[in-house]
Structure 1
């Protein structure tokens, strides 16, 4: 019988991080499914609180606090930092004695398609591991806030990812897994009836945001939570805004619309019910048309 938290030398090690915080249902469901499979040693190194939409920010000028957290079957730490901090610390050998074979960031509460990949702390957790040569994937679930969805859906989402996780680790063991990219995976809302895996490319979908001035005497004023933006319904939940003194101007974000990419890209196939698998890199080359313009333009700059 396996002892919870015990390390089995013949099993690959998976490290889990996220941006919703170590207590988030997506991370807890993923860890539970990984542990219950009996196939993996599981490490957890994740932010101690919600850190959505922090992108790839890192803590630079002061030490990070990490505390041990009790998660059955895993060795887990909560970090007072960002997702990128957590991923970096977790694979540094400063916290765990060995580097994980695979880093998984997620499961995020909400999809990360199109331009939202740039904002995503979930994607950044996987990207940070990729920077350091560790295979990684980010997992996001197009979970509907409110309605008939429940946290049990995150378990279904985690189970739907097991085949691809197992296959990746098999390729890593054979030294045949590519090291020049990492994978961004999005799961559709009706994950129990998904249409299978679909290899996609990153599109240009994005929620279009604006700002509106509010007054500090608005008791219980509200501010948009980046976790809850939905590309189709434009529904958002809100968080409290604290009062400020009158000499400050106070603004809050609000949804103004959406730019939806109808091409054969990640967002479109996710909405069609596929589990989208999008290889990403760390470089951001411009498209061919832009390169051609600047090639002709630059020599004429005085």
Structure 2
């Protein structure tokens, strides 16, 4: 009997997050994959590609039906790295899935995303990978939407594994998938490119220790009523407290990924390890660099 493909699942919302649990449940229910999980033991949203270097990280086996799972006290990149090694599981997985994230990851938000970092870390190590995010909207989305999102991505996952088996899958990129809010009525898959959309962030001085509830990689619930006010006597007089706040969302005409997502498509974006500078920037510095030494010498 032919061995089932091994899929390793990670995320940045934590091993108990409903998005990860829905994805694992859907994968297990197909009975076509060996499912493994190596995910953070707590939320690690917006930590980007940070890694733990100077000290060991603990991993604890947890119960997830149909899968062998470990909760790790580390970042998403740590979890992906450990999960694809032979230190935790007996073999290297065929595919790594990171998600399903609570909130979309398009445009420049990809840089901040721990979800995308989990897939990128696998890519760094030569393992095909996919990051998956759901465009959660408070008051509209429900936990059941994660299951619908996982089911909507199953054909993509199956097709990627078929290409891997045929040794025809491209190894110079990984995929970032964003599922629209109204996943039940999505318009299908659309190949997109990474845009430049970003939430503009400001800072506000506060008098409480409120952290706010993370709703996605870059969108936070900043209702301070969720947490009690800090006793002012507990804050040293010389210490000031500041917190981030969203002050706007910038989207340009060429932001194909986020626009396709908002139009109801499942956005499929191939990503590389890094984003190269635009052509005009390279042209500028190509002309500028040879004159740097000359300008510096003349100024002395």
Same topology, TM > 0.5? yes
Which residue of structure 1 lines up, in the alignment, with residue 183 of structure 2?
191
TM-superposed deviation, 1:223: 4.2
Give yes or no for contact 1:183–1:277 (8 Å, CA) kept in 2.
Answer: yes
Matches within 5 A, 1:142-291: 142-145=135-138, 147-215=139-207, 218=208, 221=210, 223=212, 225=214, 227=216, 229=218, 240=227, 244-263=235-254, 265-291=256-282
TM-superposed deviation, 1:214: 1.6
Moved over 6 A (4+): none
Which residue of structure 2 lines up, in the alignment, with residue 3 of structure 1?
none
110-119 vs 206-215, greater mean Cα deviation: 206-215
TM-superposed deviation, 1:262: 2.5
Larger Rg: 2
> Higher helix share goes to which structure?
2
Aligned residues: 288
CA 1:221–1:174 in structure 2 vs 1: closer, same or farther (change >3 Å)?
closer
List gaps (5 residues or longer) in structure 2.
Answer: none
Partners of 1:108 and 1:22 in 2: CA distance = 11
TM-superposed deviation, 1:290: 0.2
List gaps (5 residues or longer) in structure 1.
Answer: 1-7
CA 1:66–1:202 in structure 2 vs 1: closer, same or farther (change >3 Å)?
same
Q: What is the TM-score of this pair, normalised by structure 1?
A: 0.91
**Offset from partner CA, 1:145-202 (integer Å, 9 cap, x none):** 2x13210110000000000000000000000000000000000000010000000000
Which residue of structure 2 lines up, in the alignment, with residue 5 of structure 1?
none
Q: What is the TM-score of this pair, normalised by structure 2?
A: 0.91
**Offset from partner CA, 1:16-75 (integer Å, 9 cap, x none):** 000000000000000000000111000000000000000000000000000000000000
CA 1:221–1:10 in structure 2 vs 1: closer, same or farther (change >3 Å)?
closer
**Offset from partner CA, 1:209-258 (integer Å, 9 cap, x none):** 0111122xx4x64547362755xxx9656664866322211101111111
Give yes or no for contact 2:107–2:255 (8 Å, CA) kept in 1.
Answer: no
- SS of 1:89's partner is helix
CA 1:79–1:58 in structure 2 vs 1: closer, same or farther (change >3 Å)?
same
Partners of 1:119 and 1:228 in 2: CA distance = 7
Give yes or no for contact 1:228–1:237 (8 Å, CA) kept in 2.
Answer: no
Give yes or no for contact 1:44–1:76 (8 Å, CA) kept in 2.
Answer: yes
Partners of 1:46 and 1:94 in 2: CA distance = 15
The CA RMSD measured in Å over matched residues stands at 1.8
Partners of 1:32 and 1:237 in 2: CA distance = 33
